[in-house]
Amino acid sequence: MTGSHNSKPLSGPSNDEECAPLVSISDVSMGWEGRTVLSHVSMHVCEGDFIAITGPNGGGKTTLLKLILGLLKPMSGKVVRNVRNLTIGYLPQKNMIDSQFPISVSQVIKSGLLGMKNLDPAEREARYRETLKAVGLENHAGQAIGVLSGGQLQRALLGRAIISRPQLLVLDEPLSYIDKRFEAHLYELMREIARTTTIVLVSHEMSTIAGMANRHFIVDHTLHECTAHHHYVHTDCDE
């Protein structure tokens, strides 16, 4: 599925004056073994944003997401969560998951509710059923993740990320392994979620997502916010 370059983005903050930052990144640098991964990166993730991030392999996209999530501590600079008890849903890249771990699709999805102690059993079950349907895995609920296709596992992990209805949803290459039939549904699901949830999404497939997002960033060891309509290639950002 491809979208028009002129698609109207979903509503969201358009400038810093309107921004209610959920997460603030200030002059952050990150690296390992003498290699710089991110250098002097600053950005706000504003409430209501749909942020699309792209850039070359090895440019630091996943590292940036992990800093936002609090999974990494910066070498220098600050990452601050401005909302107390911010709820976050996270879809990692599939290659970060041990697909042979003995756990079922239903257990994966329900694990997204582990931190929500105040939900009664009926609400938990209702959210689970709703999420299972949303990711199209009703016929696979009892299956072990080791027998799933790559796309089915990706959908189970997406279900885990969205079941809690988080304030911030962070998605690392959500289109990986997804078949074209479900891809169209995924775009519609993202549009619906974005009405009430702040989204930060990394993807190489930017044509449709670009029309949905209200902010676009290029990550190539540094961070550049792009204002051009055609931002799929690094050099296009300066148009």
Q: Is the dihedral of CA 187, 192, 195, 196 positive or negative?
A: negative
Domain residue limits, the chain: 18-86+168-174+202-228
For residue 237, the model assigns a pLDDT of 60
- Is the distance from CB of 212 to CB of 50 less than 8 angstroms? yes
In this structure, whether the domain defined by 18-86+168-174+202-228 belongs to CATH 3.40.50.300 is answered with yes
Using CA atoms in the order 96, 188, 53, 50, what is the torsion angle rounded to 10 degrees?
-120
Full-model pTM: 0.86
pLDDT in tens, 110-168: 999 998 988 999 999 999 999 999 999 999 999 999 999 999 999 999 999 999 999 99
pLDDT in tens, 55-102: 999 999 999 999 999 999 999 999 999 999 999 999 998 777 887 889
Nearest partner of 167 among 86, 77, 95, 97, judged by Cα: 86
What is the DSSP track for 118-162?
Answer: T--HHHHHHHHHHHHHHTT-GGGTTSBGGGS-HHHHHHHHHHHHH
